[in-house]
Amino acid sequence: MPSADLLIPFFLASAVFACLPGSSMLYAVARTLASGRKVGWASALGFHVAGLGHTAAAALGVSALLVLLPTLFTVMKFAGAAYLIWLGLRYLKGAPPRSPASCKPPVATARRALRDSVIVEAMNPKSALFFFAFLPQFTDPAATFPIWLQIVVLGIIVNGMFSLTDAILIEMSHALASRLRASARLLRVLQKLGGGLLIALGINLALARNP
């Protein structure tokens, strides 16, 4: 593994990135507010799984294609943005619940949330570029482990740190939402808030500049 001279800055930089509001944070919060804790956790898990995929891609150098082929970056960006906006519209147009008890999402909803978050994160080219540009900076060619294995280990660590902050926000959002779910009307407000946040994330991704 890299020396302490590289690992210490790596942990410090990862902690900073993990605490900065990002798309995964806001996405998990939006799904938690709109559909409850279980869906929020499923969304965070999906981002974690996709993050491991980005780590593997960075280790293999696949992410470099996004830099060499700007068109591919643009296609992925708009596809991911469209998917986020579509998810948000589903919440905005969804039928309001008939009672507070209906806010408990069924297992299938959690499964869909897991699938949706994997798709959203996998189609986010900026995430792929982040892992590709960030992780190699903290590798050591003179270390015992090969570069690709160092990237994998560092990626697992940083992905875990991101997931930790997502988990904290999910629980905070759930605690807030639980106090507001005294009526179907307030639950509908939460659904609209979550849907609007997803749409805003999609628009932000669509307007982001290519690298």
Domain spans of the chain, in order of start? 4-98+110-207
Residue 132 CA to residue 139 CA, distance in Å, equals 12
Q: Which amino acid is at 100?
A: P
Count Cβ atoms within 10 A of the Cβ of residue 185 and give its class: 0-12 exposed, 13-18 middle, 19 or more buried: exposed
- Stated length of the chain: 211
Q: Please, what's the b/e burial string for 21-42 (b: 16 or more CB within 10 A of its CB; e: otherwise)?
A: ebbbbbbbbbbbbbbbbbbbbb
Residue 76 pLDDT level (bands cut at 50, 70, 90) = low
pTM: 0.67
Nearest Cα residue to 22 out of 152, 172, 204, 157:
204
In angstroms, the Cα distances linking 186 to 30, 59, 182, 193 are 15, 46, 7, 10
Contact 140, 3 (CB under 8 A): yes
Nearest 5°: CA angle at 46, between 83 and 198? Answer: 35
Nearest Cα residue to 30 out of 199, 209, 204:
199
pLDDT digits (tens, 9 = 90+) for 80-118: 678 768 777 877 776 544 433 344 444 447 888 888 889
Nearest Cα residue to 10 out of 151, 182, 165:
151
pLDDT digits (tens, 9 = 90+) for 7-48: 787 788 888 777 766 677 778 888 887 778 888 899 889 989
Q: In the prediction, which pLDDT does 156 show?
A: 92
Residue 52 CA to residue 44 CA, distance in Å, equals 13
